[in-house]
Amino acid sequence: MNDLKIPASWPRPPALVKADYSVRIFGAIFVLEESGEGCSITNDAENVIDDLASRWDISGCRVIYKDRMGTWDELRVKRGRFAGFRLLNAPSLKAAFRAVMQPETPPAPSAARRPRRGPTIRRR
């Protein structure tokens, strides 16, 4: 794996990004870790993705990060923009890599979306 470590001090516009973090790149997976100062990656997710997209082409890439509780999760990216969160709940970076490589299982249909059956008519 190609491990490219970008220091947290790498210049970026301070007015746009409030979270302070470092970036490591493993192929098509961006790994973010907070420095512990400033806003969290979770709370500044949209600006973090915009910051990454201004420095790299992140289309088709995955972005995982370690939150302040020590759990690894994913920032979803669609067309180079922030598209939400995916909870991996991975306790380690290795577990996060495993989780991000697994295909997502679609959510189970809720009772509200299931087709309703009409009354059963019994013929004699």
CB 61 within 8 A of CB 83: no
Q: How far apart are CA 92 and CA 70, in angstroms?
A: 8
- Name the percent of the chain lying above pLDDT 70: 71
Q: Which residue ranges make up each domain of the chain? A: 3-96
- Phi, psi values for residue 120, rounded to 5°: -85, 125
Is pLDDT at 102 greater than 90 in this prediction?
no
Q: How far apart are CA 30 and CA 58, in angstroms?
A: 9
Position of tokens 């969290």? 40
Q: What is the pLDDT of residues 37-79, one digit of tens each?
A: 788 999 999 999 999 999 999 989 999 999 888 999 999 999 9
Residue scoring higher pLDDT (62 or 16):
62
**Overall pTM surpassing 0.75 (yes/no):** no
